[in-house]
Amino acid sequence: DAGVTQSPTHLIKTRGQHVTLRCSPISGHKSVSWYQQVLGQGPQFIFQYYEKEERGRGNFPDRFSARQFPNYSSELNVNALLLGDSALYLCASSLAIWNTGELFFGEGSRLTVL
């Protein structure tokens, strides 16, 4: 069975640009979460979506937005990129909204902002 897949794996943008990151959850998983992992730090929660609705939002500016599609895949959008947005963006899926830590992570999209 395929795990969580993310695209693109690497990308380079310049300040002020916009980026869209994509995620396909494990088949049958209805919840998708996004995390940002800056080099040398643990992942930080950005969003959780369940059944196409936002169910949780972390402490990130409005430049960050996301959505979940009817097939449960998801997109993370970041506008007006800043140098500090350079990070590994991780998508994770789980069966349900309430999880006992059983989040399954993809390998991430590594974003570099120049």
Partner 1 sequence: QKEVEQDPGPLSVPEGAIVSLNCTYSNSAFQYFMWYRQYSRKGPELLMYTYSSGNKEDGRFTAQVDKSSKYISLFIRDSQPSDSATYLCAIIQGAQKLVFGQGTRLTINP
* List of residues contacting partner 1 (CB under 8 A): 4, 33, 35, 40-45, 48, 55-56, 58, 90, 92, 97-108
- Locate 26 and state its tokens: 């494990």
What gap in Å lies between CA 60 and CA 45, rounded to an integer? 9
Non-local CB neighbours of 101 within 8 Å, separated by 6+ positions: none
Rounded to a whole number of angstroms, the minimum distance from the CB of residue 90 to partner 1 is 6
Strands 87-94 and 44-50: unpaired
* Tokens linked to 43: 């992942």
When the beta carbons of 69 and 102 are compared against partner 1, the nearer one is 102
Choice between 70 and 101, CB closer to partner 1: 101
- Residue number, 15 or 105, with CB nearest to partner 1: 105
Contacts of residue 42, defined as CB under 8 A and 6 or more positions apart, other chains included, come to: none
- Closest separation between CB of residue 16 and partner 1, Å? 27
Instruction: Write down the least CB distance from residue 35 to partner 1, Å.
Output: 8
